[in-house]
Amino acid sequence: MIEVEVHQQLRALLRQQTDPHWTHHLTMARLVARALRLGRSALIQTGTESGSGAPYRLSYLMPLLVWKAPAIVVASESVQQWLLQVEVPRLQQWLDVSKSVQIITPNSTPTEFSGLAFVTPQLWLEDALRPTGGHQFKSPKILPAGILTLIDGVDDLDGWVQEVLSLKIYGHDWDQLMLSHPGFRETIRDLRIRITHSLFQHPANPYNCHVLEDDDRLPIYEILSQLQQYSPLPKSWAELLNHLTPRSQIASNRESNGESLSAYTHDPGLLSAQVDRQSGTFTLQHSPIRLASLLRPIWQQQPTVLIGSALDLDASADTYRQTHGLDDLTCIKFAPPRHESCVQLYQPDRIPMPNTPQFQPALLAELRQILSRSHIAAGLVVILVGDTPLRTQVGATLAAEWGSRVQVDRIPEASNGILVAGWDEWTQFQQAGIVGVPRCIVIATLPMPSLENPLVAARVKDYKQLRQDWFRLYLLPTALMAIQRAVFPVRSARGLVALLDSRVIHRIYGTQVLAALGPYARLNYLDDRWNENWDDSGDDR
């Protein structure tokens, strides 16, 4: 069987390496080989970073090159370059195989292939959604159907879907609409003015974003429907009309065409506007909300191996599978090696709750105490603050005391720099590989999506309409995934994680937050010798 051959080849290769290797190489390689042989989908949580040089990729490349049939690898361009320039040539030489390898591009012609194909997540999603999906694709599919597909980095799957399926309407699109329907210039202009007036009636928020409710969506739908009766709409407006069509109208159209409605789930999507108050302009954006109904047909097209660093606290990944339309498949979660990846957790217990006026002074006092420790201050310190106004205030206060060492959402040039960043910004720095290993990561506030963000509030509203647990299915999983990914860099140095959000102590979900940080050794206090005195005799979890 392929599992035996892959195990023997990979074990022999690892024995020749002098550098330490990933603990779970052989297990993951056998799992991928089994998925190839049985055509059974699998979900793998590696428990490691997912940058271009992540250690686990050797585990899936070996079975893919040994396997005689074709396979598709979905990975970012940076990961593809690493694999094609470093790992694939090394393994081909070791295995003495000449399996064809190709990169699929948007200009590729539909073809049958027998080797290994690499494709970006964006192109793969566009191709997978061609037959249905919100976009009116007219070109044939590029990728053959029914071929096992391995997706590397599904931690970012939600972002990929939003990037591919989000539709934006810019200022020039309004001009194009008036040019295509010159007899309705006044009607189109009045609609634009009405939307502008409605948006600017909302109070400003840090996100510069507002959601368009039914009172604003309906006039857009009615006018676009009227214009379509006279002449075809420009492509972007035709797609927007398709998204805004009420479910009852879609169901009526499908029924008149003799199509089944039993498997149809209508995603109303989210229509929002990014507002520039200085210029008085806005950009409309329609994006999907219910990812499960969009993704489920994709998983049914072929066996799929999904690989991510940290997707769910449980090995069975029940929450992740429910929210991403994954049915029965093999699930496995690799735990970080306790002796190599144990962080030191400092969690003071007298800090006020983040939603109180007392929180900011207490936070700054604790940050001063942490930054005054010589072993911590000697290296990079990352302070994660999700709230935008609070992040700015913390950065300004610390910069007044520590000078140019402090940078907000920018990589400090000094080796002992202090980076005050949002969670999304820190993730982007990690993925780009432009930041070193921090000595300390301070979690000032948990990365719970804020209900003050209109986009988050709209998603929560949709969960409520479906009578689903919006906190368990959306807010908490988002925060836990972000926490696990954020602390990966500090694990390699067995550094310090300071958790200053007291909700972990006072809320029932605090145990899940601590589980996401494990393995860890708890520190009750800090001194200048914390890094020297720590050993495995502490509270190791």
Low-confidence ranges of the chain (pLDDT < 70): 52-53, 110-112, 130-140, 247-266, 338-340, 374, 527-541
CATH annotation of 2-164+292-333: 3.40.50.300
What pTM did the predictor assign?
0.88
DSSP designation for 155: G
Domain with CATH 3.40.50.300 in the chain: 2-164+292-333, 338-540
Task: Tell me the per-residue pLDDT of 255-264, one tens digit each, with 9 for 90 and over.
Answer: 455 544 333 3
φ, ψ dihedrals at 456, nearest 5° = -65, -45
pLDDT at 287: 94
Kindly indicate whether the domain formed by 338-540 is annotated with CATH number 3.20.20.70: no
Please choose, from the candidates 514, 537, 539, 535, the residue with its C-alpha nearest in 3D space to the C-alpha of residue 524: 539
Q: Do 87 and 57 meet the contact criterion of CB atoms below 8 Å apart?
A: yes
CB 310 within 8 A of CB 485: yes
State residue 111's pLDDT score.
Answer: 66
- The Cα–Cα gap between 246 and 224 comes to 13
Alpha-carbon torsion 460, 208, 286, 77, what sign?
Answer: negative
Helix (H) or strand (E) holding 407: strand 406-408
User: At residue 72, what is the residue type?
Assistant: I
Per-residue pLDDT, 133: 40
Which pLDDT belongs to residue 137?
41
82-132 pLDDT, tens per residue? 999 999 999 999 998 888 899 998 887 766 678 899 999 999 999 988 654
Q: What is the pLDDT of residue 134?
A: 41
CA distance 3 to 126: 33
